[in-house]
Structure 1
Amino acid sequence: MSSHREQLQQDVRFRILRLLDGNPQMSQRALSRELGISLGAVNYCLSSLAEKGQLKIRNFRASNKKLRYAYVLTPKGVAEKTALTSRFLQRKLEEYDALKAEIESLQEDLELGADMGPAPQVTQK
């Protein structure tokens, strides 16, 4: 079982790979806004993915004055995205099942409470 911190890191990697797969020219600033994490965290994650060979970083000109980057998933990155997607989906399904069970339990409590009439009043002396 992975720790909560490891799960959060996996979620960030998954979300970055997923966003970049659909839009490789997305800026780090846009990734930061979309994910709700710091620009430094995005930069660190992109560097880590590139070091692991899961992402290639390519320069391109966005305008006459600025260079931008394209973040292209490598075959290794696509495989990692698939594995992360599977783990992410499994975790979310487990969370869904737990939440569904909790909702059903709360609904039963409400139904039992309605059958018993109004709750007794507590008086203070």
Structure 2
Amino acid sequence: MAPEDARYRILRALEVNPDVSQRELADELGISLGKVNYCLKALVDKGLIKARNFSKSANKKRYLYVLTPAGIDSRARLTKRFLVRKMAEYETLKAEIEDIRKDLEQYSS
């Protein structure tokens, strides 16, 4: 997964569930725990999220990750770039599928 995709998916997941653990986030996104930890630290350093101790948790090491206004703006920009990239991938894949169908029709005749 590209770093920009990881940041997008992490910001998106945190917006929906800010009290998710790093391990749960790694499992949900299918990336390593180390990569999640690295990305979260980078997002905190960039001021895109704030990590606060989650007071209701029995585990006092657990954090609540809150998107800052800059984080919300960043997520919007990342969403747009992600969508443009995925649409281009879709169009390429659609053309490739059409070529394969034509090849199959040619061999089936």
> What TM-score results when the alignment is normalised by the length of structure 1?
0.82
Identity of aligned residues (%): 54
State how far apart, in whole Å, the 1-side matches of 2:91 and 2:14 are. Answer: 30
What is the root-mean-square deviation of aligned Cα atoms in Å? 1.1
- How much does 1:38 deviate? 1.6
Number of residue pairs the alignment of both structures matches: 107
Q: Which residue of 20, 35, 55 maps to 2:14?
A: 20
* Runs of 4+, deviation exceeding 3 Å: none
Alignment of 1:41-56 (within 5 A): 41-56=35-50
Relative to its length, the structure with more helix (as a share) is: 2
Structure 2 unaligned spans of 5+: none
SS in 1 for 2:2: helix
TM-score (norm 2): 0.93
Q: Between the two structures, name the one with larger relative contact order (CA 8 Å, sep ≥ 6).
A: 2
Instruction: Measure the CA separation in 1 of the matches of 2:97 and 2:54.
Output: 51
Flag structure 1 segments of 5+ consecutive residues without an equivalent: 1-6, 116-125
What SS does the corresponding residue of 1:25 show, helix, strand or coil?
Answer: coil
Deviations 1:51-91 (A, max 9, x none): 1010001112312xx21210000010001101111111111
Match of 2:105 among 107, 111, 120: 111
